[in-house]
Amino acid sequence: MNHCERAVPCAAIRVSRGNTVLFDGYFGRYCGGDPLEPASYTTDEELPVPTDSSRFDLASLTKFLATAPLILSLVEHGNVYFSTRIGEILTGLTGATAALTIEDLLTHSGGLPALPDLWQGRSPEVDQREEARARLFTVEPTAAPGRQIVYSCTGFILLGEVVQTVCGQGVAAAFSDFAGGAAGRDGSLGFSPTPSDRELYVPTEWCSWRQRRVQGTVHDENAHVLGGAAGNAGLFGTLPAVHELFLREWGAALGVHRRDPLLTRETVLAAVKPRRVLPLGSPLHDRPRGSTERRGLGMQIVPDTQRGGFGAGAFGHTGFTGTSVWGDPATGVAVTILTSRLYYGRESTTDGILAFRRLVHESALRRYG
């Protein structure tokens, strides 16, 4: 298999403009060509073709679709402010971390390390969430805030702790209350998969730490030791449910007007504008250290190297498992891609998922933009 085939053993893709779904596709393994054409796919030997009931591990889309909207909702209700220092909410933090603001964490500009590695040295089978949380609270920034962008799961795990403290319940329960019916009472969207539905969950990576193929539990190791639901990962969803949630939360920036939006139009329009335009302090897999990064509140503003036909104001997020959601205010087009790029290993599929994502965006905008 070539690098794209390994990265996309199965795919579910939806494209919409406004309230209209323009394209829905459920495919097997990608073989090359136009990714919106069924002829570009074959059947993978190991993974079945997904359906509208297949539930994908959304990985870091959790940041964009759950944690950031929860924080923004707390801001709307006056429970916290962007300028609130997290030490005013969370007790036991180190001094430098306590001084970081909500906005520092939402924009990945607080100088916190990318990963807290809370799972290192722990057993995957033993509940050690309190010990992991205690370690989280000892993590300190490695750079001064407001100087650079370091994409940080650490910061969003802390935002999950903010949600828990302010709401009096964990991220999973807070999200369920916030999203209401969109949270998928049928299991189509939410945290904490049920073992009885395991076959509906698309498997991810063979995990050397857990000594098994991960299926029906969160792939992210840090989220796993925190009980399966954290501010950085733990959300699962089907293609229709994920795309619908995206539009209910962020659709105001795309010209989508719903009777039941989850955030106000004013909040959305403020969030999707660049709040931090800074150099990358550590490289990302598609951009070198020092390149310019633009961050909104809980989201990425599309970089020039990954624009794929989108306008300069396009916004969205990606997930380590191969998932992504992007919207383009210039055209009103929204694109959701769900796949399981980790199935054949993380190292060999990094370039392939980037190439595939770009091809999907280019084809969608060529057809519908």
Band (182; pLDDT cuts 50, 70, 90): low
Convert the pLDDT of each residue in 114-165 to its tens digit: 999 999 999 999 999 999 999 999 999 999 999 999 999 999 999 999 999 9
The angle subtended at Cα 295 by Cα 290 and Cα 297, nearest 5°, is 155
Tokens encoding 210: 């857990």
Q: Domain 3-368: which CATH class?
A: alpha beta
State the pairing for strand pair 41-42/56-57.
Answer: unpaired
Kindly list the distances between the CA atom of residue 345 and the CA atoms of 9, 213, 349, in Å, as whole numbers in the listed order.
11, 11, 7
> Region 86-96: what's the mean pLDDT?
96
Least trusted range by pLDDT, from 83-87, 104-108, 181-185, 291-295: 181-185
pLDDT at 353 over 90: yes
Of 172, 205, 206, the closest CA to residue 57 belongs to 205
- Cβ 298 vs Cβ 63: under 8 Å: yes
Reported confidence tier of residue 185, pLDDT bands at 50, 70, 90: low
Per-residue pLDDT tens for 273-298?
999 999 999 998 888 999 999 999 99
Q: Return the SS3 of 37.
A: coil
- In degrees rounded to 5, what are phi and psi of residue 108? 60, 35
DSSP H stretches of helix in the chain: 3-7, 61-62, 68-76, 95-98, 102-106, 129-136, 153-167, 171-179, 221-225, 239-250, 265-271, 350-368
Res 184: pLDDT: 62
Question: Cα separation of 362 and 109, whole Å?
Answer: 30
- Three-class secondary structure assignment of 123-176: CCCCCCHHHHHHHHCCCCCCCCCCCCECCCHHHHHHHHHHHHHHHCCCHHHHHH
Phi-psi region of 184 (alpha: psi -120 to 50; beta: other; left: phi over 0): left
Rounded (to 5) percent helix, strand, coil in the chain: 35, 15, 45
CA quadruple 32, 36, 37, 39: dihedral positive or negative? positive
Tell me, rounded to whole angstroms, the distance of Cα 167 from its chain centroid.
22
pTM of the full predicted structure?
Answer: 0.96
Question: Between the CA of residue 106 and those of 164, 263, 281, what are the distances in Å?
Answer: 16, 16, 16
